[in-house]
């Protein structure tokens, strides 16, 4: 009998059957493509924002369509569907494939599996055909994988719309820190008591199964100064930012790269009409004025005339050579009432997404900038 196992193993290796000859172990490597998506769902066109997630879920056997030719992306996800998705996720992770099939009612085998594997508490829901809330879905999904597969890749101090005492707050925060949940805007807003669509669920499920799809985007916070002169001004800064002074806010990531916003306020003695353009009549003049105040050489400078509601402003963005490295610098200048305001945004981060979020997230009297900044094409 001792010779049987080595002989069987040798046959398996010789025939390229090593995997079928032994049961798959648990792990994220079990998520493999089992189908090819070639546009089967007519209601998910190539321009649909969720196409990639739908394709991933279909090819990895995590979700099916409402029919052979439709996915119903805007359809409301039911509790039954959420349990089915979580059970498939758990079974593939644990055993390498999904073997569950429909029963009576159709979702019952998946519910039984979920209860048996502690994805779901027995009697958790009286009606599985009812819409799943976003919080319920987060709880079910979070329990479908071990904690070790949902390690934190970013720090999340708060999630807008999810108080710490919400019944699903624990699961929601775990998924946010793991990069599975991203929220509906730059603040990571999440409405835990609202329903969720099938395509939104697909996006989340794809990030559960494929860690490389998870998002480490820094969540933002809207900050407003308490100083009476600056109370009208709101800026978006990353969670974890700290005040350097009454007019300066600073953020540093784990690599040491930073972004800092500083507001300088001057008495308005040169703009009797209160208009920015009374002070600086042209974009060229504004660019010259900014360059003349810099201590380091600048390049690729672009100046735009923009507005924040009724307040006209100049926005100048440039690259600044400092200590052997290139930093991004933005300057926003405007007159308002009895004061002139100069807002500078400096960033040493290689990824410009955060710089864009900060410079575009400035609001004056609640008004956003008339034209969002984006890096010009190289």
| Domain end marker among 213, 238, 272 | 213
Q: What is the pLDDT of residue 272?
A: 64
86 and 181: one domain?
yes
The number of distinct structural domains making up the chain is 2
230 and 100: one domain?
no
57 and 159: one domain?
yes
- Give CA–CA dist 179/199, Å, rounded: 18
Q: Flag whether 101 is in a domain.
A: yes
Q: What is the pLDDT of residue 350?
A: 80
List Cβ neighbours of 275 (8 Å cut-off, separation of 6 or more).
Answer: 312, 335
Q: Is the pLDDT of residue 16 over 50?
A: no
Q: What is the pLDDT of residue 199?
A: 97
pLDDT confidence band for 273 (50 / 70 / 90): low
* Tokens encoding 100: 């569950």
- Give CA–CA dist 158/181, Å, rounded: 13
Q: Taking the alpha carbons of 132, 138, 140, 144 in that order, is the dihedral positive or negative?
A: positive
Q: Flag whether 1 is in a domain.
A: no
DSSP letter at 123 equals: T
192 and 250: one domain?
no
272 and 123: one domain?
no
- Give CA–CA dist 329/345, Å, rounded: 6
- Give CA–CA dist 278/326, Å, rounded: 33
234 and 89: one domain?
no
41 and 97: one domain?
yes
**At 238, which CATH number?**
3.40.1000.10
Average pLDDT over residues 30-40: 96
Q: Is the pLDDT of residue 214 over 90?
A: yes
Residue 72 has φ and ψ, to the nearest 5°, of 60, 60
Q: Between 4 and 331, where is the model more confident?
A: 331
Q: Is the pLDDT of residue 6 over 50?
A: no
Q: What is the pLDDT of residue 15?
A: 40
Q: Flag whether 35 is in a domain.
A: yes
- Give CA–CA dist 250/346, Å, rounded: 10
Q: Flag whether 376 is in a domain.
A: no
Residue numbers of the domain that contains 307: 220-368
Average pLDDT over residues 171-175: 98
Largest CA distance in the chain: 100
Per-residue pLDDT reduced to its tens digit, 125-169: 999 999 999 999 999 999 999 999 999 999 899 999 999 999 999
Per-residue pLDDT reduced to its tens digit, 262-271: 999 988 877 7
Q: Flag whether 289 is in a domain.
A: yes
Helix (H) or strand (E) holding 89: helix 79-95
Q: Flag whether 19 is in a domain.
A: no
Q: Taking the alpha carbons of 28, 32, 38, 40 in that order, is the dihedral positive or negative?
A: negative
Q: What is the pLDDT of residue 353?
A: 87
| Domain end marker among 213, 228, 259 | 213
| Domain end marker among 213, 230, 249 | 213
Average pLDDT over residues 322-328: 82
Q: Flag whether 262 is in a domain.
A: yes
Q: Is the pLDDT of residue 3 over 50?
A: no
179 and 224: one domain?
no
Q: What is the pLDDT of residue 24?
A: 59
Average pLDDT over residues 43-50: 96
Q: Is the pLDDT of residue 308 over 70?
A: yes
Q: What is the pLDDT of residue 338?
A: 86
55 and 183: one domain?
yes
196 and 239: one domain?
no
Per-residue pLDDT reduced to its tens digit, 53-108: 999 999 999 999 999 999 999 999 999 999 999 999 999 999 999 999 999 999 99
Q: Flag whether 126 is in a domain.
A: yes
Q: What is the pLDDT of residue 14?
A: 43
**Average pLDDT across the chain, whole number:** 89
Per the confidence metrics, is the pTM higher than 0.85? no
């Amino acid at each position: 009998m001792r010779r049987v196992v080595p002989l069987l193993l040798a046959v398996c290796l010789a025939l390229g059957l090593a995997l079928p000859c032994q049961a798959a172990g648990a792990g994220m490597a079990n998520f493999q493509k089992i189908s090819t998506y070639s546009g089967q769902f007519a209601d998910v066109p190539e321009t649909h924002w969720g196409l990639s997630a739908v394709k991933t879920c279909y090819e990895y056997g995590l979700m099916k369509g409402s029919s052979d030719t439709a996915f119903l992306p805007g359809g409301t996800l039911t509790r039954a569907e959420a349990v089915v998705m979580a059970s498939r996720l758990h079974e593939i992770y644990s055993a390498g494939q999904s073997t569950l099939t429909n029963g009576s009612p159709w979702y019952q085998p998946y519910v039984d599996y979920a209860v048996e594997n502690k994805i779901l508490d027995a009697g958790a829901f009286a009606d599985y055909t009812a819409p799943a809330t976003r919080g319920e879905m987060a709880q079910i999904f979070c329990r479908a994988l071990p904690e070790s597969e949902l390690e934190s890749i970013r720090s999340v101090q708060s999630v807008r719309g999810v108080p710490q005492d919400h019944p699903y707050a624990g699961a929601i925060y775990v998924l946010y820190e793991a990069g599975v949940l991203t929220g509906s805007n730059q603040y990571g807003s999440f409405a835990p008591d609202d329903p969720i669509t099938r395509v939104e669920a697909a996006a989340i499920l794809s990030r559960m199964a494929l860690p490389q799809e998870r998002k480490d985007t820094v969540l933002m916070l809207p900050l407003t100064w308490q100083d009476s002169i600056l109370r009208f001004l709101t800026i978006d800064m990353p969670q974890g930012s700290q005040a350097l002074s009454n007019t300066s806010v600073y953020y540093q990531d784990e690599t040491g790269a930073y972004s800092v916003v500083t507001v300088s306020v001057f008495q308005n003695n040169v703009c009797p009409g209160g208009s920015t353009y009374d002070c600086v009549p042209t974009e060229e003049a504004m660019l010259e004025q900014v360059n003349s105040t810099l201590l380091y050489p600048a390049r690729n400078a672009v100046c735009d005339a923009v507005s924040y509601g009724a307040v006209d402003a100049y926005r100048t963005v440039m690259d600044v050579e400092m200590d052997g490295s290139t930093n991004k610098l933005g300057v926003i200048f405007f007159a308002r009432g009895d004061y002139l305001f100069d807002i500078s945004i400096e960033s040493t981060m290689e990824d410009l997404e955060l710089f864009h979020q900060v410079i575009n997230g400035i609001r004056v009297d609640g008004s956003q900038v008339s034209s969002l900044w984006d890096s010009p094409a190289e």
